[in-house]
Structures are given as C-alpha cells and as structure tokens.
Structure 1
Amino acid sequence: MGEKKKFSMLSCILTVICVVFVAEAAAPVAAIGNSQYFWWIFMIILFLLPYGLISSEMGTTYDNGGGLYDWVSAAYGHRMGARVSWYYWINFPLWTASLAVMFPDLYAVITGKELNTIAAIIIELAFVWIVALIARTPTADAVWILNGSAAIKVILAIGVGIFGVMGIAKNGMANPITFSNLLPSFDLDSLSFISVIIFNMLGFEVICTMSDDMEDPKKQIPQAIVIGGIAIAAIYMFSAFGIGAAIPTSEVSTDSGMIDAFMLLTGKEGGIFISAVAVLFGLTLFGNMISWSTGVHEGAAAAAENGDMPAIFAKRDPKNNMPVGGIMTTAVVASIVVVAAPFIPNQDLFWSFFALNLVMFLMSYIPVFPGFLKLRKEDPDTERPFRVPGSGIGLTLLAYIPMILIIVSIIFTAVPLSFDPDTLSATLPITIGAIIFIVLGEIIIRMKGKE
C-alpha cells in the first residue's frame, strides 16, 4: 500500500469553511432587519471567537478522534460523554432528512416542473444514500469534495454580496441604516434568531476528528480554526450586508434561502442563471453532509468502542477503518423520516424536524465549555500544544458566555414562550420530540451502566 494521503494546510482551512459555513445563513437572518448587523457582530465576538479558541485547545490536547465525546468524557466521565455522543448523533439523521426534502424544490427551480409525491421521495432517498456511500470514503480521499463545496459556498455567498452592492448602487439603500434600527429590539422574533446564528457557527470540533489525516495536526488545527473562522465571519457579514441593504426587509422571510436571495436580487424566478445557482447550491448540501459525517460518526464510534453507545456504531470498514455502522444507521433513520414526512398532517413538518435537530445538536455543546475550565483546573500538567490565553475571571467569562447563549437559544427554539395556538402548534412538537429523544438516550445510557 502507498503512503496515506494527508491534508495540506489549505485543505484544512477549506474543510473548516465547508463544515462551519452555511450558505443559507444570510437570507433568513436578514429578515430581522438592520439589527442583524448587531447580532452578527455580537455572536462573532461573544460566541464564534471563544468557541474557536476553546476548540483549538481541546482538539489539540484531547485528540483521540472522538471530538466532543473525548473532551466531555475527560472532564465529566463516560456517562456525560455518552449523553453528548447521543445528542450529537441523533441530530444528524434529522438534519439529513431536512436537507433531503429541499431537493424536489431544487428540481422544480432547475426544470420548471413539480414532482409528484413518489418521485419526490425517490429523489430525497437518493440524496440520503449518495451521502452515505460517499461518507464511507476516507476523508483525505474525499478532500476534493470538501474543498469544492467550500469554494462553491464562498462563491455563492460573495455573489449575493456583490449583487447586493450592485443593487444599492442602482437603487440606493432598501433599508436605510440609522442608529436606532441597528439596535436589537429583544422581542421574541429577534431573539429566536440566536439559535439560527449559533447553528451557523458550529462545527470547529469536526476538523479535530480528522487529525489522523493531517500532516501536523497540533499546528494545523488551531491555524485552520483561526484562519477559517476569520474568513467565515467576513463572508457572513458581506453577504448579510448585500441582502439587508438591497432588499426591503418585508420581502425577506425566515423561510428565505440562498436561491430566494438571488431571485430577489436579480428580479428573476427562473432562467439559466437561477438554475445554475440551484445546481451549485445542491452540490453544497452534499458537501455539508459529507464533511459533518466524519465528525458525527467518529464521535459515535469512539463512544461505542468504549461501551457508551450501541455496538452498531463501533462497526468499521475493515478496508479503510471508516465508521460504517453509524453511517448506515444514519441513512436508515433519515430514510424513515423522509418516507414518513409526506404522510404526516403537519404543514410545518420541515421546520419541526430541523428545529428538533437543532435543539439536540445544541444540547451536545453545553458541557463542553465548563468542561474546558474543569480540565484546566484538574488536569493542568497535560501538554497543551495550543493554549487559550488568559486566566481567572476572563477565562471563566470566555467559557460561560457561549454556554449561556446556547442555553438561551435552546429555550427560544423548544419552549413555548406564549400560549397562542400558532406558537403552540409550531413549538410543542419540538418540545415533545426533544423530550422523547432525551429519555431514549437516558434509557440507552442506563442500559450500558457505565459511570
């Protein structure tokens, strides 16, 4: 056998961008209005920066390939690590199904034709299983997919920003910026976007699970996180400005996405250009899932190998050591969701599945930040190739502020904060689903019986 392929520094940075950067992010957040700029800057400083620094230290210090599972287990033991692994995994098939149901709409944009239910399900299942088959390929061998997806995401996001600037030059500011409208209103609608923005900033730990594919992970991981994080923040801000300044806020909704943004900016709902955007966007969805698959399933495999998750997750391909048990389990669960979705009488089913995935996903991060402080105190002698600067109250705030933001975002996503029928119908399914998955996870953990 030849020498195993290794990630270059550029590939590490592009992988961070592929994993963390979400091309869909700018348009829904622009629905807030000009206060979106406050929220982007606020979250970049108080969440993205500390989360990136902590991930760099934890990922280069506790680098057994399990990501969050390794970090939390080191701080709080196997039982808490098992919970994190379960929450981190269960979100993934729900997220996969959520993206799968977008493909019939992409088909309609590209061809101008609507699909019937059966044809739509077939296309959705094709997405699920193509992702699963590609995800079985070692990450370093599929790096061209990750790099290509990252490049397409950046091109689309910068394109939105450029079209927005062109719109401003031609028609002026659609939403004039004043001091008062830059400030957040702190109402329920605005605060509900916290979870969306945080979701669009998570994923730095995924690059840590790819350390075996790197030339020098102790050096590459922190550099890729810092450089990738700066690039992601700049791209988010530019694309958000383009949409927010060129399109009246009343025309942008929380359901708007990248393709909707291009349609609004160009004034066209079809044609070769919009079809090309739809094709490119579809390709980014494959890159998203393939890049995340490694982090999610390596974490689940590490937990299963330690007896903290069902044994199926420990099954690996004997030829390339990829965690095929978890990958195939994800595909099966996502397929069940995709097939069942059209027959469930709920018009907001897509949002319910996505929001449920979001809640479970965010829950897996809560112990990471206090765990970082705990390990600093109780395990000070372990070599830390990268060390977060600071100490005392400064370091404590650096860890606890992101954790508090995550908890707040979970509350605004999963807890009904008013009792009108619309709110209850939209939120209660998420609340009930989260409770079911938490209880199911506890049953699995108790059956394993490890402390």
Structure 2
Amino acid sequence: MKSKKKFSLFSAILSVICVVFVAEAAAPVAAIGPSQFFWWIFLLVTFLVPYGLISSELGTTYPSDGGIYDWVTKAYGHKWGARVSWYYWINYPLWLASLAVMCPELIKLVTGYTGGAISNLLLSLLFIWVVIWISFYPISDNLWILNGAAVIKIFLAVSVGILGIYVAVTQGMANEYTIKTLLPTFDLRSLSFISVIIFNLLGFEVICTFSEEMENPKKQIPQAIIIGGLVIAGIYIFSAFGIGVAIPTENISVSSGLIDSLQLLLHSKTGIFIKISAFLFLLTLFGNMISWSMGVNNTACYAAENNDMPRFFGKRSAKNQMPTGAAMMNGIVATIVVVLSPLLPNKDLFWSFFSLNLVTFLLSYLPVLPAFYTLRKKESDVYRPFRVVGKDWWLKILVIVPMIMLIIALIFTALPLQFDTATLKEKLPVTIGTIICVLIGEGFILLKKD
C-alpha cells in the first residue's frame, strides 16, 4: 500500500506563511500612514503573542478537523459551536468574492486585454470555480501550490520593501517621520483599518486542521506557529516600511495592494516587472484561497456532521473524503455575491466585500479566546503537549487583551461612526451585510434540531 504524503516541518511553516500572510491586505494597512508601525508593534504584542500561544495549546491538545469549532463546542456547547462554524465559514466565500473582482484588473496588467463588463464577470467567476475545483483534492496533493504561493508572497513583499527603501534613499522620504506622526491619531479612518492588521495576524489555527497529514503534529504545530509567526511579522513590517517611506499616504489605494504600490514606486503602470509581479500576485491569490479552503471546509463539514451546520455542508467525496459540500457552497455564495455586485452603491467592490469578510471572520474568533481559559479549568486533567505557562491572572490577561482588540476592530469596521455621505456609502453595505449574516446564522440555530 502506498504511504500517504506527509507534511515536513518546513512545509508546515510555509503553509502557515501561505495561510496567514495576506499580500492583498498590505495597502489598507499602509493607508493608515506612519502610525501603522505603532499599530503593528502594539498588535503584535497585544494580539499575536497571546493568540499564537492559545492556538498552540488548543491545537495540540485538541487536534481535529473541527478546529476552532471543536474548541468552542467543548467549552460552551453546540449552539456556540454552530455560531463559530457559521461565521468562520461565511467569511470565506465573501473573501473569495473580494479577490475574484480583482482578477480582471490583474489579467489586464499581465496580458493587456481590456474586456467589457461581461468578460470581467466571467473572469471573476472562472477564478472562483478554479479555486473550488482544486479544493476538492487533499491538502497533501496541493503542497506545491501552498509552498509556491508562500515563496512568491515573500518575494513580492521583500521586493516592495527593498524598492521602497531604495526610492526613499535616492528620492527622499515620501512621508514625514517624527515622534508625532509615528504615534496613533485615533481618527476614525486609521482605527477602521486596525481590523486589517488583526486579520493579517489570524489563521494559525488552520494548520491545526492539517494534523493528520503531519509527521509529528504535536511538535510541528507549535513550531510552525512560532517560527512562521516571527517570519510573517518580519515580512509585514519590512514591506510596510518600504511602502510607508516611499509613497505618500494619500496616494495609496485600499483596493490595489502590492501591485499598486509597485506601480507608484516605479512610476509606471506597465512594464515587464509589473507584468511579472501581477502574474505572481495572481498566483498568490489562488494559494491563499486554496490554503484557507482546507481549514474552512473541514471545519464546516465537521460541524455539519455534528448537526451544527446545514446537512449539505457534510457531504464528502466518496473517492477521497474531501468536504465537497462546503466547497460547493463556497462557490455558489461567492458567485451570487459577484453577480449582484453591480447593485452596490460603493463601487470599490474589493473593499466592500473584504470589509464584510473581516467582520464575519473576527466574529468567529470572539468565543475562541475565552474557550481556552474555560477548557483549562473545565478539563484540567487533559494532557497538553504544549502548555501555556503562567498563573491564573496571566492566563486571564492572555484572553481579555486580544478580545478587547477584536471588539474595537469590529466596531470600527462594521459601524458607520460618521454620517456623511461618503462614509455611509462605504459603511452601510458592510453594516447591512453583517446584520444579514447574523440573522441567517441565528435563524439556523433556532431551527436546528439538537
């Protein structure tokens, strides 16, 4: 019998980088301005460190396909598990839709092709369904995609960082860097982008759902999270520094990410380097979606098998047992969102979909952090291969501080805290979308049979 391919530690680390490092989220963070570095450092300490420690303990103590759903269900029961699985799943097709609407512009940069509305729609739908098709196959069959995407992401981010520093040295600093500008202003614009930084630091638990395909998950999971987290933090800060010193903040678009930054740094919309970078960036979008699909689909399918998601999500392939029902629902929802997108008042489709994706994603994590503390008390006799050390007051701090960060990020992302026309046009679709997602999730919980 042919042995099943297994993750090495190196592959696990690259998978963490592929999952957690989100290249397309670079621009919204850079749009904060010089104070982004304060927020990076602040959130690395107050969010990434406690979240990484909590994920390592929960992931090695309770390894399963259910991931965060399983942890919350063990701590608080099936209704809370159903909520987590719903928000965790619904964020994915929204994110998939946000990247799909970017594809026509990237293809235009690579090929020079300028199509109309119909051809752009078809290209977006093609992106969605290629991702869905690949997600029908086991993660170990797609390691080359994940590893390749991780390497490309690192290359693009480091290139932006180096190029930005070169431009700043040769042409002067684009933004003023003083103690005053580096400190946070606490204006609504910058605070609304904090959720993007937190989003950039989430996803470590996905590696826990790959445990059955690892050589030694009890060692590899915490090692991959710690090493991968340090590498990711370094890449983020370096690339953010390159963008921040070379591009005026007001010129940074929240929609275009690294490619827009490269165009501004090179003072050119086209050229061979832009074409190659756009093509590589497009590949990373596939890598992101494929890596996340494994964790999201496994969690949704596992929850459906426990009657905490609609039954269709529990459908598996007879050939390889992959969660095809959840994958198909990803494609259906993303397709509906993209097809209906022309009806939205905010024509910045990427940011509209991405913001709603942020809100639902962050909502799924709110019960995860206290579940760590509850399970430590509730199941104290369970063996923990990786155990967060510290007294009770320290464990409470590790839970409370990142929860506060999540709540603040949710408020500033989902709610229109100003009522001018521009803000309402940008925020209301997100607010309404959040209400719809919450109502659908709560409706299912009310109707489901225990």
| Contact 1:67 1:209 (8 Å CA) reproduced | yes
Offset, 1:345: 5.1
Report whether the alignment pairs 1:159 with 2:152: no
Deviation at 1:130, TM superposition (A): 0.6
2:184 partner SS: coil
1:218 and 2:246 correspond: no
Q: Note the C-alpha offset of 1:153.
A: 0.2
CA RMSD of aligned residues (A): 1.3
Q: Normalising by structure 2, what TM-score?
A: 0.97
Deviations 1:142-201 (A, max 9, x none): 111000000000000000011012112212322242111110011111111111111111
Aligned to 2:329: 329
Q: Is the contact made by 2:369 and 2:399 (CA closer than 8 Å) also made in structure 1?
A: yes
Specify the alignment match of 1:449 in structure 2.
Answer: 449
User: Does the 8 A contact of 2:35 with 2:181 survive in 1?
Assistant: yes
Q: Report the AA paired with residue 339 of structure 1.
A: V
Secondary structure, in 3 states, of the residue corresponding to 1:209?
A: helix
Unaligned runs of 5+ in 1: none
Aligned match of 2:146: 146
Structure-2 separation of matches of 1:315 and 1:268: 48
After TM superposition, give the deviation of residue 244 of structure 1 in Å: 0.6
**Partner residue of 1:426?**
426
> Structure 1 residues 194 and 294, CA, compared in 2 at 3 Å: closer, same or farther?
same
- Count, aligned residues: 450
1:18 and 1:147 in contact (8 A); partners too? yes
C-alpha distance in structure 2 between counterparts of 1:274 and 1:253, whole Å: 17
* Alignment match, 2:253: 253
Q: Deviation string for 1:333-368 (max 9, x for gaps)?
A: 111222222355542443222211211111000001
Aligned to 1:271: 271
- 2:346–2:426: 8 Å Cα contact kept in structure 1? no
TM superposition shift of 1:410: 0.7
User: How big is the shift at 1:232?
Assistant: 0.1
Question: d(CA) in 2 for partners of 1:345 and 1:24?
Answer: 23
AA matched with 2:448 = K
Match of 1:366 in 2: 366
- 1:253–1:100 CA distance, 2 compared to 1 (3 A): closer
Answer yes or no: is the 8 Å Cα contact 1:28–1:256 preserved in 2.
no
Alignment match, 2:379: 379
Cα distance between partner residues in 2 of 1:174 and 1:442: 48
Amino acid at match of 1:361: F
1:116 maps to amino acid: G
TM-score where L is the length of structure 1: 0.97
Q: Distance in 2 between matches of 1:352 and 1:179?
A: 33
Question: Separation in 2 of the partners of 1:419 and 1:247?
Answer: 30
- Determine the structure 2 residue equivalent to 1:198: 198
> Once the two structures are superposed, what CA deviation does each residue of 1:215-247 show, in whole Å capped at 9, x if it has no partner?
110100000000000000000010011111122
Structure 2: stretches of 5+ with no match in the other structure = none
> In the aligned structure 2, how far is the partner of 1:364 from the partner of 1:4?
32
Which residue number in structure 1 is paired with residue 12 of structure 2?
12
What SS class does the counterpart of residue 364 from structure 1 fall into?
Answer: helix
User: Partners of 1:280 and 1:435 in 2: how far apart?
Assistant: 36
Would the aligned equivalents of 1:117 and 1:342 in 2 still touch at CA under 8 Å?
A: no
Cα distance in 2 between the residues matched to 1:19 and 1:285: 11
Instruction: Provide closer, same or farther for how the CA distance between residues 424 and 121 of structure 1 changes in structure 2, counting only shifts above 3 A.
Output: same
Partner of 1:351: 351
Residue in 1 that maps onto 2:66: 66
Is 1:230 paired with 2:230? yes
Amino acid in the other structure paired with 1:420: D
Partner of 2:48: 48
Q: Does the CA-based 8 Å contact 1:103-1:124 persist in structure 2?
A: yes
